[in-house]
Amino acid sequence: MHARTIETLGLRGLAPRFLERGRPFGVGHYGALETMLNFSALDSGYPFQLVIPQSLTEQLLEERARELGVRVQRDATVDKTWQDDAGVHASGTAGGQRFTFSGAYLAGCDGARSAVRRQAGIAFDGVEAGTTTMLGDVQLRAPLPAPALMKVNQEGVLMIVPLGDGVYHRLIVLDARRRDVPVAEPVTLEELADGARRIAGCDYLPSQARWLSRFSDETRHAAQYRQGRIFLAGDAAHIHMPAGGQGMNVGMQDAFNLGWKMAAVVRGQAPQGLLDSYHNERHPLGAQLFRNTMAQTALLTSFDQRGLALRAEISGLLTQPEVNLKLALQISGLGIGYGAALSEPPAPVLPEWSGRRIPEMTLADGGSLHGLLHQGEWLYLRLREDAPHAVACPGRLRTASAALAPSPDLGASQAELMAAGPRALLIRPDGYADYALA
């Protein structure tokens, strides 16, 4: 789980639930290059990636959904969706019985082979699979030389990372000899162990596999994230080689962007046009994800001497802090910014702050800026007495008056904001500035 995803959870007061169950790592990788990405340099309260089983992430999210009164229906399959002037409809089976339900909107989060996307007629163009990779969650009977291991040579790519439970490790093996095996062919522990041994040059004796799988580098991107009343998020909107661990994170950030907008429209607090901003904001990021995972795939699958030379050159560039930071911002999600304001500013603004991510900041009264966003409302933060007392926005609004706390340990964004001296900030429910009043 990357920094921006943890921030989104923190914006609703949920980050501690995940932090206490995961293991932070201050570094990450880009294309399994030797020079690691330095996440500790990020301007965030969470300058790391959190190693946490996805099954646990799903469990914690479901617990939160149930706290909010959401009914989770298991063992149900939707096989048909359609929309008309009255709403959007879906039918399927659950417990051997047919069902139909209707609503104002439908979010298709039904994965890479999304029936919702297909039935909505949304194109899903991209690049066919060219290679396959094995992975498995196993126990190791021989110790690793470090908490995690990454190795690339002419035999392939090997990554071994702990899963945070003190027992299992995830082995990811791109075996140069087995890269053309069809993705549907089952993986055996022997196949995984053989590839890992040849790439590592030693045997860590994997055993007790609890999950084995094979995935490809097929890469596709939905042409639209909205078709009338139907929206796409996560793997239904974009699939790619899981390079840098971005898939789940981008999907959760899609949902976070869509959720507060849909809530405001359904409650009658915002115009329908607000929902158009979902595609406008997230689709370009899906395109960026398409490019960066394709670039990493090219690096990951370069096993000959020319490819290894290219890897060495790019790895050398990553030793430059500004280059390293640029890619760390991309992979972590902290480099995301949006465009024009979604509401009408009442006075001149500081244009460089519109659509900019606002990290956690400390207020002069000792409070937390992100703490003011826990209820999912817009936040109008009056930083100076001469700021207007009220503004309009497309949703529920919370108004607070406070100054930012001066401190020798300010993050870069807080120091920059204090230097700019805005009179007020209007902050969206997802923690991005809609505008800053000059």
The structure tokens listed for 149 are: 């291991």
Of 381, 384, 365, which Cα lies nearest the Cα of 373? 381
pLDDT in tens, 366-415: 899 999 999 999 999 999 999 999 999 999 999 999 999 887 667 888 88
Of 48, 7, 1, 43, which Cα lies nearest the Cα of 24? 48
381 phi and psi angles, rounded to 5 deg: -105, 110
- Which residue shows structure tokens 């995803």? 5
The structure tokens listed for 133 are: 């990779």
Of 418, 433, 420, 426, which Cα lies nearest the Cα of 336? 433
Task: Grade residue 149 by pLDDT with cuts at 50, 70 and 90.
Answer: very high
The structure tokens listed for 148 are: 């995690």
219 vs 305: CA distance, rounded Å: 26
Identity of the amino acid at 327: L
Of 39, 43, 45, 34, which Cα lies nearest the Cα of 10? 45
99 phi and psi angles, rounded to 5 deg: -145, 160
- Put the strands of the sheet holding 238-239 in their side by side order: 124-127, 219-222, 238-239
Do residues 373 and 386 lie in contact, with contact meaning Cβ atoms separated by under 8 Å? no
Average pLDDT over residues 325-353: 94
- Dihedral, CA atoms, 404, 408, 414, 420, nearest 10 degrees? 80
265-271, Cβ contacts within 8 angstroms, sequence gap of 24 or more: 266/104, 266/105, 267/396, 269/394, 269/395, 269/396, 270/394, 270/395, 271/394
The predicted structure's pLDDT at residue 408:
65
233 vs 250: CA distance, rounded Å: 9
144 vs 279: CA distance, rounded Å: 44
From its phi and psi, is residue 335 left (phi > 0), alpha (psi between -120 and 50) or beta?
alpha
215 phi and psi angles, rounded to 5 deg: -135, 165
Of 122, 121, 93, 89, which Cα lies nearest the Cα of 106? 89
pTM here is 0.93
Q: Of the given ranges (37-51, 89-103, 402-416), which has the lowest mean pLDDT?
A: 402-416
Task: Grade residue 151 by pLDDT with cuts at 50, 70 and 90.
Answer: very high
The single-letter DSSP state of residue 270 is S
Q: What is the rounded end-to-end Cα distance, in angstroms, of the chain?
A: 36
76 phi and psi angles, rounded to 5 deg: -120, 140
14 vs 7: CA distance, rounded Å: 9
The predicted structure's pLDDT at residue 166:
84
Q: Label each residue of 360-371 as H, E or C.
A: CCEECCCCECHH
368 vs 404: CA distance, rounded Å: 10
pLDDT in tens, 101-143: 999 999 999 999 999 999 999 999 999 999 999 999 999 999 9
Mean pLDDT of the chain: 94
The structure tokens listed for 152 are: 């690339």
Task: Grade residue 71 by pLDDT with cuts at 50, 70 and 90.
Answer: very high
The radius of gyration computed from the CA coordinates of the chain, to the nearest angstrom, equals 23
Task: Grade residue 326 by pLDDT with cuts at 50, 70 and 90.
Answer: very high
Of 81, 19, 93, 80, which Cα lies nearest the Cα of 49? 19
